[in-house]
């Protein structure tokens, strides 16, 4: 599936200019800092924002260009930051309202997939924020959309509720054969949910591609934020160390461990490593409490002359890359240069223990 967008829009002094072919399938994260234009672009795609000039098409069907197709006829489902449920109806009433209007036969499948059975008789006012969002997703799915747009659906939730809701979102594409475009400024959400990502900055596409390759790029720091910047690596679980409660893994043929997690030997994981949690040594270190050491080659160094820091990009083998954020003084003292072989020291606690199995 493909969504083609070539639009320009100036709104309240902000300029959105996007020409991009979205490769759809699974979950595509539309990622960027606040104010990058993510939600505005989603509104253009959906037809809720009519002020843009240019073209929008889905699967070869023109939604905007020579003619403008209204939102109701685009076959789009839209999940907003706020649930926007009907307060005078209970959960079942909200779901049946959507099912009756669309003639959907998905009711039982939606209720099962989103675990809504226990909520059906509850009034909206009695639901938690996460429960409201599950019901909102269910109601949207019952409109039989061809494309699901989600505009930061977890933004108003605390961390615990976000963690509980993420697995429900992750299963939607497979359960309903439905591509999802998911707007977020959270690197963690991208890591745990997305199959690919499009990075937006200042109203333009800055980068696009697979999650691991895109997050490894040093030029997206503006969008990801220096604190959360990092890498996604693929790991295979090789065993469990029951004595020390560690999960042993292999990344690019090199051993790693993290605090014990309930994953099976042979399972493939995606793990997030923050650049700020990676230190660099020019020789293999000994006598340290840090157990995770990855050998790699420096392939890029970006000096931030306005700060004390520099960003390094390492090739750790197997097509995988790792980012490190260290001081410029350290770069100079170690004499680091592109092509050098170095050792990346990674604290176990920097791994995202909630990483999802690779889909």
Instruction: Tell me what the mean pLDDT of segment 101-110 comes to.
Output: 94
Q: What pLDDT, in 10s, does the model give residues 342-352?
A: 999 998 555 55
DSSP 308: S
Compute the mean pLDDT over every residue in the chain, rounded to the nearest whole number: 92
Among candidate residues 56, 62, 148, the one with its CA nearest the CA of residue 106: 148
How confident is the model at residue 201, as a pLDDT? 94
CATH of 230-350, one of 1.10.1040.10, 2.30.40.10, 3.40.50.970, 2.40.50.100: 2.40.50.100
The alpha-helical segments, DSSP class H, found in 121-280 are: 129-141, 159-170, 172-176, 187-193, 211-215, 221-224
Residues 6+ apart with CB under 8 A from 195: 25, 26, 27, 28, 210, 211, 359
DSSP string across 94-149: HHHHHHHHHT-S-HHHHHHHTT-GGGTT-BGGGS-HHHHHHHHHHHHHTT--SEEE
Q: What pLDDT, in 10s, does the model give residues 211-236?
A: 989 988 888 877 776 667 888 899 99
346/274 Cα distance (integer angstroms): 9
pTM as predicted: 0.85
- With bands split at pLDDT 50, 70 and 90, how would you rate the model's confidence at 359? very low
Task: Flag whether pLDDT at 238 surpasses 60.
Answer: yes
Q: What pLDDT, in 10s, does the model give residues 320-343?
A: 999 999 999 999 999 999 999 999
Task: Flag whether pLDDT at 248 surpasses 60.
Answer: yes
How confident is the model at residue 354, as a pLDDT? 46
Give residue limits of the domains in the chain.
2-220, 230-350
Instruction: Tell me what the mean pLDDT of segment 5-12 comes to.
Output: 96
Q: Is the domain 2-220 a CATH 3.20.20.70 member? A: no
- With bands split at pLDDT 50, 70 and 90, how would you rate the model's confidence at 291? confident
| Two structure tokens written together for 231 | 């890498």
Task: Flag whether pLDDT at 353 surpasses 50.
Answer: no
Task: Flag whether pLDDT at 102 surpasses 50.
Answer: yes
Q: Contact 210/320 with Cβ under 8 angstroms?
A: no
Among candidate residues 145, 146, 142, the one with its CA nearest the CA of residue 105: 142
Say how far residue 114 (Cα) sits from the centre of its chain: 20
Q: Using a pLDDT cut of 70, give the percent of the chain over it.
A: 96
| Two structure tokens written together for 148 | 């699901």
How confident is the model at residue 349, as a pLDDT? 52
CB-count burial class (<10 Å; 0-12, 13-18, 19+) for 100: exposed
Q: Using a pLDDT cut of 90, give the percent of the chain over it.
A: 80
How confident is the model at residue 357, as a pLDDT? 46
How confident is the model at residue 1, as a pLDDT? 79
Say how far residue 273 (Cα) sits from the centre of its chain: 14
318/238 Cα distance (integer angstroms): 17
Examine domains 2-220 and 230-350 and report if their fold is the same.
Answer: no
Cα dihedral 198, 204, 206, 207 sign = positive
Task: Flag whether pLDDT at 185 surpasses 60.
Answer: yes
How confident is the model at residue 226, as a pLDDT? 67
Instruction: Tell me what the mean pLDDT of segment 43-48 comes to.
Output: 97
Q: What pLDDT, in 10s, does the model give residues 50-79?
A: 999 999 999 999 999 999 999 999 999 999
How confident is the model at residue 358, as a pLDDT? 43
Which of the two residues, 357 and 107, has the higher pLDDT score? 107
- With bands split at pLDDT 50, 70 and 90, how would you rate the model's confidence at 261? confident
């Amino acid at each position: 599936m493909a969504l083609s967008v070539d639009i320009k829009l100036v709104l309240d002094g902000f300029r959105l200019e996007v020409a991009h072919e979205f490769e759809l399938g699974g979950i595509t994260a539309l990622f960027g800092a606040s104010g990058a234009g993510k939600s505005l672009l989603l509104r253009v795609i959906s037809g809720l924002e009519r002020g843009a000039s240019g073209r929008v098409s889905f699967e070869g069907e023109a939604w905007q260009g020579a003619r403008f197709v209204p939102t109701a006829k685009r076959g789009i489902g839209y999940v907003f930051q706020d649930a926007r449920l009907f307060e005078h109806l209970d959960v079942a009433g909200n779901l049946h309202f959507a099912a009756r209007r669309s003639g959907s036969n998905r009711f039982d499948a939606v209720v099962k997939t989103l675990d809504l059975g226990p909520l059906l008789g509850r009034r909206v006012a009695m639901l938690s924020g996460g429960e409201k969002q599950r019901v909102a997703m269910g109601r949207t799915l019952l409109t039989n959309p061809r494309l699901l747009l989600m505009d930061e659906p977890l933004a108003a939730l605390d961390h615990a509720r976000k963690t509980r809701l993420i697995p429900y979102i992750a299963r939607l594409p497979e359960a309903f054969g439905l591509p999802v475009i998911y707007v977020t400024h959270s690197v963690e959400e991208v890591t745990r949910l997305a199959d690919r990502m499009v990075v937006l900055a200042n109203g333009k596409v800055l980068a696009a591609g697979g999650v691991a390759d895109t997050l490894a790029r040093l030029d997206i720091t503006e969008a990801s934020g220096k604190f959360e910047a990092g890498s996604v690596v693929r790991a295979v679980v090789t065993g469990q160390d029951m004595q020390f409660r560690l999960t042993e893994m292999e990344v690019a043929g090199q051993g790693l461990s993290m605090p014990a997690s309930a994953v099976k030997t042979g399972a493939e994981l995606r793990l997030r490593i923050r650049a700020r949690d990676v230190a660099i040594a020019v020789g293999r270190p000994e006598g340290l409490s840090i157990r995770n050491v990855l050998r790699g080659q420096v392939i890029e160094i970006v000096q931030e002359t306005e700060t004390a820091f520099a960003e390094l990009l390492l090739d750790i083998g197997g097509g995988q890359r790792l980012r490190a954020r260290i001081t410029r003084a350290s770069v100079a003292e170690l004499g680091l240069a592109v092509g050098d072989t170095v050792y990346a020291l990674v604290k176990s606690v920097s791994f995202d223990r909630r990483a999802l199995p690779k889909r």
